[in-house]
Structure 1
Amino acid sequence: MKAPETDEDFIQWYEDCWADRDEVEYPKMFGAIDEGVFTLDQTDAIQAWMESDIAQVEGDPDPNWGPMGVRVAPPSTDYPYWTYVTSGLSNPFTITPGEEVPDDAPSGIGYEMVIHTKEEAKWPVFRLLDMMAYNLVCMRAFAMGHRYPVEGTLDGGDSKLSGFVFVRDPSRPDHFALPSGKVQLLTLVGVTKNEMAFARSNGMDKLLEKLVAAGSGYITHPDREEVKL
């Protein structure tokens, strides 16, 4: 695969890849997507990570990062819950005009992240934007099977959930393809500190079995009790 050589053609190709994901692939996997986008340049997430001790980016952040954000899919007949999905980590911002790229290469950093909730909420948007900024500024990527503790609770309130596990949602494909490369979908499921430790010791599949048996499954319920481990 070779990216378009001229700046004009490259910009159009870049925008077409973005539109293909948000306007074609996402509706197929999540149902109707709200028109609005919550973007990184509407927050201080990038700057906060730029000022952290683990930042790997010096100088000004990439201007391509600002428009990246989070899209929302409200409940539907097929998917009776809210879905929040990042939009931008799979943009081909890592490619330059005319660059030759292997056909099996990832697009951008190679994935987008998803959170499902029963109720509409703002905390998934803020969490995803912060984690996007972490990926971009600190150059630390996530992967299937990872665990990610957060500071405080997931919703900033009284929730007992204090982190995420990264899993494959069996109700939909875990990847799709763009003209710029392959993209994996990482579903984030909220868990307690003890549940995260259980997954580390016993495997992610064992934890998901318990979450499914308890009725929460791949949907994050901030007000739920810890499952019996």
Structure 2
Amino acid sequence: MPGRYFDLRDDMSIQTRWLLGDAMNSQGHEVDDPWQFADGCPVRVEERLRIPIYHPGSSLEFSHAGVGGAPVVHQRVANIFKELAPEDVQILPVDVDGQTEPYCLLVATRNIRCIDDQQTAEVQYWKPEDGQPEKVGEYRAVSGMRIDVTKVGNAKVFRPWGWTLALIVSEDIKEALERANITGVRFKEVTGPSEISPEERAHNRKLRDLYERSTTPREAFWRTLGTMDDNFVIPIVVGGGWPARSEVWRVIHRPEGRTLFVTDGLSNFFVKDAEPSVGFGLELALETDEAVENVAKSWQQLLLERIANELVGHEHLREPARTGLLSMEVDGERMPEPLLTKDGRVAVLLGMDTPTLPTHFTMPDGQVRLVTVKTLMPRELTYLLEHGREELLHRFNQSHPGHLSKAWRQSVV
């Protein structure tokens, strides 16, 4: 009887967990190819690598690192793989920042063409019109994966050809990891009958089409504003209150050395309704002319996330943000000190028009407002509370830098 196989995943549902960055060399630089550790083939490493902690939290015995998704495992995990599948893995000892316990990179050295397209819930392929001719015919997306076990042979650990995001392990390895109570692991079976019915497959296809209907024209709009930073990656948060239940962020490099941070999903369709719409009808935009060394860890990105969370969580804030001016305060932790109020918070003004950015953009299902985010100096917040938003806006319009957000500047009042 054919064996059972499972997709071994990083458990992102652990809220207190750490997040790891891509492997770094002895000079403190990220390795040139962080994806090599998840390609399904042996790697050649000349030195011991270091794994930085991108976001502090509870350490786990199994984690994916950075954009490359390299599995970083405790020695206990490495020992299980060395015992049960010594021919299928390469173990590379690494140093994890702040950890005295031994950790390793776990490299699956087999790449097997085994995805069963007919039993898999849904597969998408790269097409000529996608603009990446080198990928035409390869998998672009795979969900509800099923594999053909007759093509696996004696492999116990491998990456599926064309979809190396998945790390497949045999049932005995799954059971060994569970017996050892390894932290950070999740399993999803990839053998057996398809997990969804034809009706569910049709529904999922509809959701995918709606998602592309939102994301494709919005990305085209972003590209009219400047150069997209394709190296900027913050792990997509799935779930929560965003319309399509996925939080995405973009960074756009603009003329004169400006950097534009934007939300990318507040105008998605509502997945619960599964009907065309522009979601909340807005996206947030924070622009700065200050140098930003690490956009993913910048205070500007963190501030944008906190503002988005406020709008998503409070319906009464979204309407004024979508149609006019709105001021609010958010938590000031890890924010520049000059911006902090006496209560340790940061104030912002939303919805300030500027001639350098459009106020709206058009999606297939309606207009979306591009809501600018302007940081306020503490004195400006006091003035706003005494004289109102419009009076403060008038003063901003008479001064430079207008809508730009800065860690420090002269107050306009």
Q: 1:113 aligns with which of 272, 280, 284?
A: 284
Q: 1:171 to 1:205 in 2, by over 3 A?
A: farther
Distance 2:236 2:307 in 1: 10
Letter in 2 for 1:27: R
State the shift of 1:149 in Å: 1.2
**What is the rounded CA distance, in whole Å, between the counterparts of 2:359 and 2:272 in structure 1?**
23
Q: Which residue in 1 is equivalent to 2:206?
A: 9
In structure 2, the CA distance between the partners of 1:140 and 1:34, relative to structure 1 (3 Å rule), is farther
Match of 2:267 among 72, 90, 106: 90
Say whether residues 1:125 and 2:304 are aligned partners: no
Separation in 2, partners of 1:39, 1:111? 22
Change (3 A) 1:127 1:156: same
C-alpha RMSD of the superposition: 2.8
Task: State, as a whole percentage, how many aligned pairs show the same letter.
Answer: 22
Q: What secondary structure does 2:212 align onto?
A: helix
Q: Look up the match of 1:223.
A: 408
Q: Do the aligned residues in 2 keep the contact of 1:84 with 1:115 (CA within 8 Å)?
A: yes
Aligned residues: 195
Contact 2:268 2:278 in 1 (8 A): yes
Aligned to 1:56: none
TM-score by length of 1: 0.72
**Distance between the aligned counterparts of 2:314 and 2:397, measured in 1?**
33
Q: Give 3-state SS (helix, strand or coil) of 2:254's partner.
A: coil
Equivalent position of 2:226 in the other structure: 31
- Which residue of 2 is the match for residue 159 of structure 1? 338
The TM-score with structure 2 as length reference comes to 0.42
Q: 1:189: which partner in 2? A: 374
- Partner secondary structure for residue 126 of structure 1: helix
Equivalent residue for 1:48? Answer: none
Superposed displacement of residue 34, structure 1: 1.0
Give the alignment partner of residue 21 of structure 1, picking from 203, 206, 218: 218
1:88 positional shift: 0.6
Report the Cα offset of residue 83 of structure 1: 0.6
Give 5+ residue unaligned stretches, structure 1.
43-59
Contact 1:91-1:108 within 8 A present in 2 as well: yes
> CA deviation digits over 1:81-119, x for unaligned, max 9?
11101111101125623x4x7xxxx61111000111112
Structure-1 separation of matches of 2:245 and 2:358:
26
Q: Which has the higher strand share?
A: 2
Structure 1 counterpart of 2:249, which letter? V
- Structure number with greater CO (CA < 8 Å, separation at least 6) is 1
Q: How does 1:34-53 map to 2 (within 5 A)?
A: 34-35=229-230, 36-39=232-235, 41=237
Q: For residues 85 and 213 of structure 1, what CA distance do their matches in structure 2 show? A: 25
Q: Matches of 1:80 and 1:204 in 2, distance apart?
A: 29
Cα displacement (A) at 1:163: 0.9
Q: CA deviation at 1:192?
A: 2.2
Q: Which blocks of at least 5 consecutive residues in structure 2 are unaligned?
A: 1-201, 341-345
